[in-house]
Chains A and B, each alone.
Chain A
Amino acid sequence: MVDEMNIIKMPLFVVLTFLVAFGLAILPLPYWADWFRPEWVVLVVMYWSLTISSRVNVGVAWLVGLLLDVLYNVPLGQHALALVLVTYFTVRFSARLPFFSFWQKMLVLFGLIIFYQLMLLYLRGAGFAYTTLFICFSRALISTAIWLWLVLILGDYQHRFDIESDNP
């Protein structure tokens, strides 16, 4: 039976993780820390779209992207589009992921985050300077490393709050 009002029944914990991800994304840090900032919002959206893809899917990703646009005070729609594309690919290939080895999964994650960042750069019309690309690269690496930690933490809380997972 298809649950029509999925978005209204979003578990409170999922909303909380999104808010915490927003907070971490705009944490005031010095200039050099830009190289080591993980993409928290992308990681959290990807995690929830993999575990409860009936609730968190491209629609939620679009909304989260819109809120991210307001957070960064940029023209509405940039982060929304980028997040929607990333979530689409995540959900589309979520069935194949259990058959990938560990390193292949990490590579897919890395690729998706690089894709998200390049999409944002393109949409902002920002220059593709070498430093910008290096920053994208290092941030994607850090994000991939943080993903492993994030899966453990969110998985633990997910079981504690009894959020049923759609994928085993």
Chain B
Amino acid sequence: MFFNYRCAGIAYLRTALSLVVVPIQYLVNSPVQLVHSLQTIITSKNDLLKENTKLAAQLLFLQAKLQRLSYLERENDQLRTLLSTSKQFNEKVLAAQILALNIDYLNQQAVVDKGKKDGLYVGQPVLDAFGVIGQVIALEPFTCRILLITDQKSAVPVVDTRNGFQAIAVGAGSSGMLELVNIPQTADVKVGDMLVTSGMASRFPYGYPVGVVDSVQHDRGARFVTVKIKPSARVNSSRYLLLLWLTK
């Protein structure tokens, strides 16, 4: 472990050893992929027609909302220039698919089918359809590894949409929830508060949903409040993800 952090050459050993190990990962995840592909192959025509009309309606609704978005973005930029603050980032997205999901009580990561050749970088934020799901931690030529937000090593800076209270949401491991750390007893956090990324630390862009506060526990003798958050992203069951680039 000492060598892992000090010697960069350890990565070659890891790649060599992974030749043995990666086939097992793919083999173990293949039933999940198989079920997913069977689901798409074996659907009745009726179901497909229904899904089609539902998606068309959803698309129309989203396009209507989007019409206002470009105007709002321009207005936002103008206001920011007036206030002499820096402009918002523009975001480029890339869709990807999960190849393998590894959820253990100490370690939660996913392997995704886009890699170095697609121009990814370490630390890139990853979303699914409902919210932030993690960040890229390792790159290989054709795949990459994502640390999910529920992993204990993952920390996302969040802000409460109700009152602008800022905190850091750390993964709580096997429960599939997140926790806000170091919240003083006097903080204004209530159950049902919606938390979005605050854009601090420039890793996750501002405004993407992270979760909803599920429980707030005030222990009399403790220094901090225990706040549990239910993540918006479907961490366990998402299949399609979006990778985000931040460009000015």
Smallest beta-carbon distance A139→chain B, Å = 8
**Which residues of chain A from 31 to 72 have any CB-CB distance to chain B below 8 Å in the complex?**
31, 34-35, 37, 66-67, 70-72
A31 and B176 form a contact (CB under 8 A): yes
The answer to whether B4 touches A77 (Cβ under 8 A) is yes
For the residues of A in contact with B, the DSSP-based class is helix
Tell me whether A34 and B18 are in contact in the complex, defined as CB-CB below 8 angstroms, given that A121-B106, A127-B152 are known contacts. no
Q: Cβ of B1 < 8 Å from any Cβ of A? A: yes
For B100, the chain A residues whose CB sits under 8 A away are 28
B174 engages A70 (CB within 8 Å): no
A22–B236 CB distance below 8 A: no
A70 touches B17 (CB 8 A): yes
Which residues from A are CB-within-8-Å of B27? Answer: 23
Contact yes or no, A31 B1, CB < 8 A: no
List, in ascending order, chain B residues with CB within 8 A of A105's CB.
Answer: none
Q: Which residues of B contact A81 (CB under 8 A)?
A: 1
CB of A88 to closest CB in B, whole Å? 18
Query: What 1/0 mask marks residues of chain A from 73 to 95 whose CB sits below 8 Å from any chain B CB?
Result: 11111100100000000000000
CA distance A41 to B62 in the complex (A): 49
* B18 → A minimal CB distance (Å): 5
B11 to chain A, nearest CB (A): 10
Residues of B near A75 (CB, < 8 A) are 1, 4-5
Q: Is B25 an interface residue (CB 8 A)?
A: yes
- Closest approach, in angstroms, between the C-beta of B214 and any C-beta of chain A? 14
State the total of A-B contacts with C-beta under 8 angstroms. Answer: 86
**Interchain CB contact under 8 A, A30 and B21:** no
Known: A30-B236, A34-B174. A72 touches B107 (CB 8 A): yes
Within 8 Å of chain B (Cβ to Cβ): is A167? no
Question: Could you tell me which residues of chain B, from 13 to 27, have a CB within 8 Å of some CB in chain A?
Answer: 13-14, 17-18, 20-21, 24-25, 27
Name the B residues within 8 Å of A131 (CB-CB): 173-175
Separation of A77 and B4 alpha carbons in the complex (Å)? 8
Minimal beta-carbon separation of A60 from chain B (angstroms): 14
Check A31 against B174 for contact (C-beta < 8 Å): yes
Residues of B within 8 A of A121 (CB): 106
- The reply to whether A135 and B1 form a contact with Cβ atoms under 8 Å apart is no
A157, chain B: closest CB distance, angstroms: 20
A72 engages B104 (CB within 8 Å):
yes
Instruction: Judge if B240 is at the interface, Cβ distance under 8 Å.
Output: no
Min CB–CB distance B230 → chain A (angstroms): 12
User: A31-B103, A34-B104, A71-B21 known; 17 other A-B pairs, CB under 8 Å?
Assistant: A23-B28, A28-B32, A28-B103, A31-B174, A34-B105, A34-B174, A70-B14, A70-B17, A74-B107, A75-B1, A76-B13, A77-B3, A77-B4, A81-B1, A120-B106, A127-B152, A132-B173
Q: Which residues of B contact A (CB under 8 A)?
A: 1-5, 10, 13-14, 17-18, 20-21, 24-25, 27-29, 32, 100-107, 109, 138, 145, 152, 173-176, 236
Listed in ascending order, the chain A residues whose CB lies under 8 Å from chain B are 19, 22-23, 26-31, 34-35, 37, 66-67, 70-78, 81, 120-121, 123-124, 126-127, 129, 131-132, 135
